[in-house]
Structure 1
Amino acid sequence: MAQKIPEETVQTNEIIDRETAMDYSFPMRLHRFFVDADLSRSSLKITDPELLHQWSKVLRLQEEDRVTLCDGNAMEAIGTLQSIDHDHATVALASLTPVAAEPKKYVTLYCSILKRENFEWIVQKCIEIGVKVIVPIITARTIKTGLKIDRLRTIAKEAAEQSGRGIIPKISEPIDFISALSEAKNSTNIFFHTAADALPTPNPLPPTPYLNIWIGPEGGWTEKEVQEATNNGFHIASLGMLTLRAETAAVIGSYRAVEGIL
């Protein structure tokens, strides 16, 4: 008589068989860093104290570990650590290649200044999405105007590294609404407005790789600001019938602009 195998044993064996059959050799994503250096050479000496600290103390990288280095001009190279010490590291570089993930469309986000933590979140997420430039603007209903631009630029760099960008997007100094209008008026501008009669974005938009999108403050644009934008030839558009928080609108508008689905 055949011996009955306990159900627990069958289940265990099935799990082992499935795990044995699965291929776990997924390529590990390499840590990514921007460096101000010529990456077309065969090797590179790193002396930046902050970067060395991150490599040796935080990530605990060792010889033969690999990293992705980017020059900030949408070119990158895989680097293999040959040596790493407290004051320098030597990296062997593979061939230089374009950063395929960097978006082709050049989107600038003109965004009303919000509370500091909300604006920092916008910077992080919109750069992960693919925005090239973020311009903080002071509008009639802007309440908070104190931004730490150096901190925003650090957030921008880290978000660009994390998301695989080929450039470090620019964070401009804050400017007032009228100055921003003058700066952008000769480009294609999508001015997102919460009014019920705001129309969907005109389709098709003028064929251009350059596009500016505008996000207002929590209280919305004033009628005067909407009229000023209209007078300058801006496209007044809506993100839908629901009322969105400014940071939500910034992310959705940025994504649609970068992906060309306005």
Structure 2
Amino acid sequence: MQRYFVDSDAIGPDRVTIRGDDVHHIKNVLRMSPEDRLICCDGQGRDYLTEVESIGTDEVRCRIIDSSPSPGEPGVRVSVASSLPKGDKLEWVLQKGTELGADSFLPFTSARTVVKLDGKRAAKKQIRWQRIVKEAAEQSHRGRIPPVELPGNWRGLLEKFPSYDRVLFAYEKEGQSLADALKGAVGRRFLVVIGPEGGFTEAEAMEAASAGAVPVHLGPRILRAETAPLAILSCIFYSYGEMGGEPL
């Protein structure tokens, strides 16, 4: 069933009003009609099963049939910090990471980051990134839309480490296995830190460790910058029973 995120103030006691780009999708792409059903989500983890009542030029009005907690939100929260990769690789990480269950995304620049974004370009990119995440969240039946922050710098990212229960620093040169790092984890809020195509410098690795990060490796193979975060997300969610695995 088609799913849309709506602002909480558009949800009344018995009606939901859909506005914006989704009106065009409902009206002209899906060609829905009154009495068709769709799911609206308030972005805070609650779903509303609704029936279309009317389709106008600027809004679609729906009657609420039932509501329930969104089943698509994982019990463990994993944020992904990716040093800006080249091309559209970050868009792939945002889309697939959202489908897997990522809680938020923190793009950043580090010593070997090739991509540089000024203020205007960064803001424009963020709008596009957030749209990609919204569509992925709808497709994968998430209960909320993961936020994508404006690109920050390495120093700013280090300052955020204390906000998480465990920071996993992907570093191919050393570190413990991901399995061992997860066994010793306390709490359910993770930050996964991924470097650019050229990897992190030794100085950055030392700074990350000093800030409390746990260096981890992903086995004998070297994964691409866009593959590593998705692999780690999958392993964490599987380990916590979010993908059919046995919880730790």
TM-score (norm 1): 0.83
Matched ranges for 1:66-105 at <5 A: 66-105=37-76
Residue 30 (structure 2) pairs with residue 59 (structure 1): yes
Q: Quick one: which amino acid aligns to residue 213 of structure 1?
A: V
Q: Secondary structure at the match of 1:124?
A: helix
How far apart in 2 are the matches of 1:230 and 1:52? 48
Correspondence for 2:190: 211
Matched ranges for 1:29-178 at <5 A: 30-37=1-8, 39=11, 41-46=13-18, 48-146=19-117, 147=122, 148-178=125-155
Q: Secondary structure at the match of 2:78?
A: strand
Q: Is the 8 A contact 1:131 1:258 kept in 2?
A: no
How many percent of aligned residue pairs carry the same amino acid?
A: 32
Larger Rg over CA atoms: 1
Q: Secondary structure at the match of 1:190?
A: strand
Number of matched pairs: 231
Deviation at 1:214, TM superposition (A): 0.7
Deviation at 1:120, TM superposition (A): 0.8
Q: Is the 8 A contact 2:17 2:61 kept in 1?
A: yes
How far apart in 1 are the matches of 2:50 and 2:155? 46
Correspondence for 1:190: 168
Q: Where does the alignment leave 5 or more consecutive residues of structure 2 unmatched?
A: 241-247
Correspondence for 1:230: 209
Please state which structure has a larger fraction of its residues in strand: 2
How far apart in 2 are the matches of 1:44 and 1:238? 47
Q: Quick one: which amino acid aligns to residue 153 of structure 1?
A: Q
Q: Secondary structure at the match of 1:253?
A: helix
Q: Is the 8 A contact 1:34 1:71 kept in 2?
A: yes
Summarize the Cα distance change of 1:88–1:229 in structure 2 as closer, same or farther, 3 Å threshold: closer
Q: Is the 8 A contact 1:105 1:210 kept in 2?
A: yes
How far apart in 2 are the matches of 1:61 and 1:186? 44
Q: Deviations over 1:134-190 (max 9, x none)?
A: 000110000012351110000010010010000000101111112101111352101
Deviation at 1:203, TM superposition (A): 4.8
How far apart in 1 are the matches of 2:88 and 2:231? 18
How far apart in 1 are the matches of 2:84 and 2:155? 15
Q: Secondary structure at the match of 1:155?
A: helix
Residue 211 (structure 2) pairs with residue 240 (structure 1): no
Deviation at 1:44, TM superposition (A): 2.5
How far apart in 2 are the matches of 1:40 and 1:88? 15
